[in-house]
């Protein structure tokens, strides 16, 4: 299989993680990056985020390291980027700014074959892929794709593992999330009262679009979920607090823990478990979509179980690249999943 040619828009936190992973993986060629930042500062931040492995140099309009030569562009909007010049297979939009079909379509118009957004869509897209849960449903006709979010994928994975074995009556999620780049350090009047408060100083309750997309990916919990998010003054590492009411009242906590241990053994790239008393900073370099904290799992009464899990943006960066690989393998196979879906229906 030839290398997957990637164009990346946005060299922020998640974009820098994608850069590091893609340039160190022989499956990918990171051909071009678009960001409005000053090139010298973008290169500096790349090296700082990569730590001891950072050896990126800015030479004319290219970012060079030992593994890759990447053209650096400056554009403020997808309409401005000539992807056709670079023969791009996928554009990863990691800006967090462009989430609607209308905003992302110019990537296709300008030459990209597919667009994969690093965030959940504003309204809809051709597909929201929560890798490890519904990637088997992708179709060759998909063009504008969302790779979900770290918390959405973590929650969907945690629920899917239980739902395969037990009927879920209700599930309530609380995503305890590290602060994000769109939060201000000081109180600053924005569109939302609570998010106008200092992200560095407060625990901020926040609504989450994750519920909608989890229920679409997992029909067995559709209409059975509630939840919200808390943005907390932590830079990296987030926690999932998931409470699940089961129809079966004889399930023990050990059975639930064993489900996750078995799932981690079956899918070690996606999921892990730990018996260590970890905290949020311990997971900032985790490549997993979900790290289940077995010490934090509990059972209350006869049918309510609490699952504690951890996740980070690095795990999400890995899954974004997994989404690209899945579509490339589908294209190479020549299989039309839409025809299979219609036949099953």
- Look up residue 42 and give its DSSP letter: H
| String of DSSP letters for 114-145 | EEEESS--SS--SEE--TTTSGGG--TT--EE
Angstrom CA distances, 208 to 125, 148, 223, 226, stand at 18, 12, 16, 10
Distance CA 293, CA 287 (A): 15
Opening angle at CA 66, ends 60 and 67, nearest 5: 100
Residues spanned by CATH 3.40.50.720 within the chain? 4-148+317-344
Distance CA 111, CA 107 (A): 7
Distance CA 288, CA 293 (A): 13
* pLDDT for the residue 12: 94
Residues spanned by CATH 3.30.360.10 within the chain? 150-311
Average pLDDT of the residues of the chain = 93
- Look up residue 96 and give its DSSP letter: S
Tens digit of each residue's pLDDT (9 = 90 or more) over 287-297? 999 999 999 99
Highest CATH level, class, for 4-148+317-344: alpha beta
305 vs 55: which has the higher pLDDT: 305
* pLDDT for the residue 345: 44
Q: Which residues, 6+ apart, have CB-to-CB distance to 181 below 8 Å?
A: 12, 13, 96
Tens digit of each residue's pLDDT (9 = 90 or more) over 244-287? 999 987 889 999 999 999 999 999 999 999 999 999 999 999 99
Confidence of residue 340 (pLDDT cuts 50, 70, 90): low
- Could you give the percent of the chain with pLDDT greater than 70? 97
- Which H or E element spans position 28? strand 28-34
Phi, psi of 69 (to 5 degrees): -125, 115
Contact between 150 and 236 under an 8 Å Cβ cutoff? The reply is no
Reading the block at residue 237, the tokens are 């590492």
For the domain bounded by 150-311, which CATH number is listed?
Answer: 3.30.360.10
């Amino acid at each position: 299989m030839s290398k997957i040619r990637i164009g990346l828009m946005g060299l922020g936190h998640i974009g820098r993680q994608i850069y590091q992973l893609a340039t160190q993986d022989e499956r990918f060629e990171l051909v071009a990056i678009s960001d409005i930042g000053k090139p010298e500062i973008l290169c500096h931040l790349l090296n700082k985020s990569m730590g001891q492995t950072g050896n990126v140099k800015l030479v004319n309009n290219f970012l060079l390291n030992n593994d890759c030569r990447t053209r650096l562009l400056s554009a403020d909007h997808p309409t401005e980027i000539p992807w056709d010049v670079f023969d791009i297979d996928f554009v990863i939009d990691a800006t967090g700014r462009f989430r609607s079909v209308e905003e992302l379509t110019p990537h296709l118009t300008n030459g990209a074959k597919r667009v994969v957004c690093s965030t959940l869509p504003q309204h809809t897209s051709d597909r929201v892929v929560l890798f490890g849960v519904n990637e088997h449903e992708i179709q060759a006709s998909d063009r504008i794709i969302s790779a979900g979010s770290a918390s959405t994928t973590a929650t969907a994975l945690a629920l899917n593992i239980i739902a395969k074995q037990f009927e879920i009556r209700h599930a309530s999620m609380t995503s305890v999330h590290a602060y994000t780049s769109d939060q201000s350090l000081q109180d600053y009047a924005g569109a939302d009262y609570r998010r106008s408060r200092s992200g560095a100083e407060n625990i901020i309750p926040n609504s989450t679009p994750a519920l909608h997309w989890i229920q679409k990916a997992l029909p067995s919990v559709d209409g059975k979920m509630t939840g919200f998010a808390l943005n907390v003054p932590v830079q990296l590492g987030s926690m999932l607090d998931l409470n699940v009411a089961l129809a079966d009242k004889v399930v023990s906590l050990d059975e639930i823990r064993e489900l996750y241990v078995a799932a981690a053994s079956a899918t070690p790239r996606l999921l892990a478990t730990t018996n260590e008393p970890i905290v949020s900073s311990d997971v900032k370099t985790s490549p997993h979509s979900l790290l289940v904290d077995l010490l934090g799992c509990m059972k209350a009464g006869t049918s309510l179980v609490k699952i504690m899990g951890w996740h980070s943006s690095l795990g999400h960066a890995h899954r974004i690249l997994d989404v690209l690989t899945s579509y490339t393998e589908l294209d190479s196979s020549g299989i039309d999943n839409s025809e299979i879906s219609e036949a099953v229906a």
